[in-house]
């Protein structure tokens, strides 16, 4: 007797992917470059966004994803950034419908920023497989997390267009082999840019801003 496995998650994912594709199309038509920012908790996503908000002003808007609390949105609001907080209430990643709702709430299409950052739930695993309509996935790996993480958590590093190595201000007190990380990521992924920076001090943030603006300019309608 032959048996056939039924993938019960498939219809849900197809619906998610349809919404994500429609979002991406809308973003592209409106010249909004969208990144899906993925990392572990505490890698510095929100601190980096505070720097980007100060540098880019009204050219950036942010969708914050967290399981619970508005803490990250409140931090960003202090910089004057246009931000909307999603609380997933337990879910370990954002989905495309979350983002579609936030895009409406933020008025992204009515008043398009050049760059929209979707800060995903702090989780190096689950967000990597879920399309939320972004043009590019960007991962942050910070020095205290260790330089052995790329091949242990390959799903996200396979799919990124940019790798941000954060907390380089701690390079004097931590052992972290940047070359190892980039080399191992290159075995998974033939097309990603690397940025070394400190979201805390601001060192190295400017080249990453310029990269985002250049990507937005390439989309401009």
Q: Which residues are near its own copies by CB under 8 A?
A: 8, 40-42, 66-69, 71-72, 90, 92, 121-126, 142, 144-146, 148-149, 151-155, 167, 170, 173
Nearer to its own copies, 80 or 129 (CB): 129
Shortest approach of its own copies to residue 200 CB, angstroms? Answer: 9
Nearest to 49 by CA among 159, 165, 208: 208
C-beta of 70: minimal distance to its own copies in Å?
10
CB of 173 to its own copies, least distance (A): 6
Instruction: Reduce the DSSP state of residue 219 to 3 states and report it.
Output: helix
Q: Least distance (Å) from its own copies to the CB of residue 31?
A: 33
Nearer to its own copies, 55 or 188 (CB): 188
Q: Which is nearer to its own copies, 113 or 127 (CB)?
A: 127
Q: In angstroms, what is the minimal distance from the CB of 69 to its own copies?
A: 5
66 or 134, CB closer to its own copies?
66
Residues 37 and 45: beta-carbon distance below 8 Å: yes
Cβ proximity of 92 and 65 under 8 Å:
no
Instruction: Pick the closer one to its own copies by CB: 115 or 150.
Output: 150
Nearest to 159 by CA among 129, 179, 117: 129
Instruction: List the alpha helices (DSSP H) in the chain.
Output: 10-29, 45-56, 71-77, 96-106, 149-152, 154-159, 178-188, 205-219
Rounded Cα distance, 123 and 94, in Å: 11
Nearest to 177 by CA among 203, 201, 149, 199: 149
**Torsion angle of C-alpha atoms 119, 123, 128, 133, degrees rounded to 10:** -20
**Least Cβ distance, residue 90 to its own copies (angstroms):** 7
Is the CB of 34 or the CB of 128 nearer to its own copies? 128
């Amino acid at each position: 007797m032959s048996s056939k496995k039924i993938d019960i998650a498939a219809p849900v994912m197809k619906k998610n992917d349809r919404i994500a594709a429609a979002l991406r199309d809308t973003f592209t038509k409106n010249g909004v470059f969208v990144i899906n920012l993925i990392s572990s908790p505490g890698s510095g996503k929100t601190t980096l966004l505070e720097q980007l908000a100060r540098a880019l002003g009204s050219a950036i808007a942010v969708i914050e994803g967290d399981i619970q609390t508005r803490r990250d949105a409140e931090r960003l609001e202090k910089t004057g950034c246009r931000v909307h907080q999603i609380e997933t209430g337990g879910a370990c990643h954002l989905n495309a419908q979350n983002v579609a709702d936030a895009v409406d709430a933020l008025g992204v299409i009515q008043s398009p920023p050049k760059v929209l950052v979707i800060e995903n739930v702090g989780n190096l695993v689950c967000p990597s497989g879920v399309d939320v309509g972004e043009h590019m996935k960007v991962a942050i790996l910070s020095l205290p997390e260790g330089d052995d993480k790329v091949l242990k958590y390959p799903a996200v590093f396979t799919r990124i267009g940019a790798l941000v190595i954060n907390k380089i201000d701690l390079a004097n007190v931590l052992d972290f082999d940047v070359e190892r990380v980039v080399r191992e990521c290159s075995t998974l992924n033939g097309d990603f840019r690397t940025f070394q920076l400190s979201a805390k001090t601001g060192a190295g943030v400017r080249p990453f801003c310029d990269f985002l603006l250049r990507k937005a300019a390439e989309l401009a309608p």
